[in-house]
Amino acid sequence: MHFDQRTQAALRAVGLSMDEIQTASEHAVTATRETAAEITAFFEADTVYSEMDRAHSSGGIQEHSVEYVDCYTHAADIRGYLRFDSWGVPIEGGRVLDDGSVELALGPTVHDRVRFVDDPEQL
């Protein structure tokens, strides 16, 4: 089940049955898988853009040549690895925003949430 013991207890305290909690958990897991699939599809583009701070960069809009993204899910968590042409970074906690951009928490070397777009005009 996706929910930890405290969350399950809180949901029972507001009147949800274990079957309802299980159903909610299944919906959360399904939504997570769908988001991971959307993130993967977004990064199938050859090039994406961001305003990521990068070492040895003058700032502003960054262009990234995408090699691949590898997303996996565990319950409501999205994790994986994003590989650009010359470097890569662990990812987690991704979401697709209403404007079609993707926001990811990038791990070591970046340590920040970064929004990616497929058109630099969106930044």
* DSSP category for residue 120: G
Residue 32: give the domain boundaries.
Answer: 5-122
Who contacts 25 (Cβ-Cβ below 8 Å, separation ≥6)? 1, 2, 3, 75
CB 98 within 8 A of CB 116: no
pLDDT digit string (tens) for 19-46?
999 999 999 999 999 999 999 999 999 9
* DSSP category for residue 92: E
CB 71 within 8 A of CB 91: yes
Q: Please determine, for residue 55, whether its predicted confidence score (pLDDT) is greater than 70.
A: no
Task: Round to whole Å and give the CA distance between 18 and 43.
Answer: 38
pTM: 0.88
Confidence of residue 56 (pLDDT cuts 50, 70, 90): low
pLDDT digit string (tens) for 68-121?
999 999 988 999 999 999 899 999 989 999 999 999 999 988 899 999 999 999
Q: Please determine, for residue 57, whether its predicted confidence score (pLDDT) is greater than 80.
A: no
CA torsion sign, 122 to 64 to 88 to 2? positive
Domain count, the chain: 1
Q: What share of the chain is helix, strand, coil (3-state, %, to 5)?
A: 30, 35, 35
